[in-house]
Amino acid sequence: MWTAAKLERVRVVYDFTSADCGYCDDRALLADGHRLANLLGFIEIEEDGCFQAIICESCGVVHCQPGGWVAPRRVSQDAVWMPCFDRYLPDQEAEYRPPGYLTNAGVLWFEADAVRELASLVPILDPRNYPALVARELPRLMQWDAPGLVLGRPGEAVSIRRDIVLACDEGDVTEQLTVLEELLNSASTLTQAVTSHSARTLAFYLDLPGTPEWHPLAVDTDGHRSLALRRNVGCTYDQSQ
Ligand SMILES: [Zn+2]
């Protein structure tokens, strides 16, 4: 997981002569040096909100080259870009695989300030128009970002690798993992929109080099536990079917 801090729109020129289209003068979107989208004038938002962020630089045609696909979602005042989990199936892996920045650095969060900046820089990517993140997307989002594949390999069923969870900074680790497992299971069938709130998150320590911390559970002041979107951010959704 990472957060977009410094968004920039920069000029780009591509050689489209092999497609008989001369030179293309367009804009790209950068965040902290990462190129989030390379041809802003050619983006096409599909019905489910997904779009190809990294488009063929020889012709500008969406789908000409595989990969570079993003599923953008709204979460309260924030937004997230994540892989197109509903399309990113093993047999279609190449076509809808996410751009390298989601693979290498995890899902990308836009906090409220970045949301406003993105809306003004690139109106077609205005996060206010994104579909809301829904509960059933949480397990795969959390799996994508979990350190050490502790929720399994993306594309496989989400399940906790308890053998690599050493401890939790509060309560009994086995009990906390059982609550986490129940929350992940119940979320996986719910289509209700997710909202976020700041909350204390529990640290689980993993049996991996450097003993990394993992923050998948949030605890409210009344002790109520919920799935955590990231460190110090819990989430809420209507749990009735
Ligand atoms: Zn092309």
Domain ranges in the chain are 2-131, 136-236
What's residue 130's pLDDT?
97
- On whether the CB atoms of residues 39 and 60 are closer than 8 A, the answer is yes
Q: What is the pLDDT averaged over residues 156-180?
A: 96
The pLDDT of residue 240:
74
Report the relative pairing of strands 195-198 and 165-168 from DSSP bridges. unpaired
Q: Give the Cβ contact number of residue 203 at 10 Å.
A: 16
Q: Give residue 183 CA to ligand 1 midpoint distance, Å.
A: 43
Average pLDDT, the chain: 94
Burial of 174 (C-beta count, 10 Å sphere; 0-12/13-18/19+)? exposed
pLDDT at 93: 67
Residues 6+ apart with CB under 8 A from 55: 38, 39, 42, 43, 61, 62, 64, 65, 68
For residue 241, what pLDDT is reported?
A: 61
Pairing of strands 69-75, 233-236: unpaired
User: What is the tens place of the pLDDT at every residue in 19-35?
Assistant: 888 999 999 999 988 99
Task: Give the mean pLDDT of 46-69.
Answer: 96
Question: Widest CA span of the chain, in angstroms?
Answer: 65
- Tell me the per-residue pLDDT of 100-115, one tens digit each, with 9 for 90 and over: 999 999 999 999 999 9
How far is ligand 1, taken at its centre, from the CA of residue 65, in Å? 6
Report how far ligand 1's centroid is from the alpha carbon of 99 (Å). 17
Mean pLDDT of 122-136: 97
Q: Quick check: helix, strand or coil at residue 71?
A: strand
What integer pLDDT is reported at residue 87 of this predicted model? Answer: 86
For ligand 1, the distance from its centroid to the CA atom of residue 44, given in whole angstroms, is 15
